[in-house]
Amino acid sequence: MINLFNKKLQCEQCDKKFVKYEELVDHARHHHHHAIVKCDNCGKEFIHEKDRLRHSREEHQKKMEGRVHKSEHKHENKSPSPQDEVDAHMRNFSDNF
């Protein structure tokens, strides 16, 4: 996360300020024993679930859209590969959420 305009990130519990988000997460984990949520795709840690969801949507959804777009341009006469079947299943599975 880029900290634009050198804004400081503030702990909600003790008002201590940090320059890097990772420092704030580490502080919350060790000083307040706050439960930390991790991104399932890359392991990045967040204090709030809403931040993890935003990260996942902004960072990892782009990759999935690229895979969907790529699969749309395949030749029709080819039988689907095992990876194509997995991709189709993942698209259908994620649509249920």
Q: Average pLDDT, stretch 1-27?
A: 81
Residue 32 in this model has a pLDDT that exceeds 70? yes
Determine whether 60 is exposed, middle or buried from the number of CB atoms within 10 Å of its CB (0-12, 13-18, 19+): middle
- CATH number for 39: 3.30.160
User: Residue 73: inside a domain, yes or no?
Assistant: no
Q: Position 29: which residue type? A: R
Query: What is the average pLDDT score of the chain?
Result: 79
User: Residue 72: inside a domain, yes or no?
Assistant: no
User: Residue 61: inside a domain, yes or no?
Assistant: no
User: Residue 1: inside a domain, yes or no?
Assistant: yes
User: Residue 64: inside a domain, yes or no?
Assistant: no
**pLDDT tens figures, 44-81:** 999 989 999 999 988 888 776 666 555 555 555 567 77
Domain count, the chain: 1
Residue 14 confidence (pLDDT): 92
Element (H, E) at 10: strand 9-10
Which has more confidence, 85 or 94? 85
| Residue span of the structural domain in which 36 resides | 1-56
Residue 82 confidence (pLDDT): 79
User: Residue 91: inside a domain, yes or no?
Assistant: no
Distance of alpha carbon 27 from alpha carbon 17, whole angstroms: 10
User: Residue 29: inside a domain, yes or no?
Assistant: yes
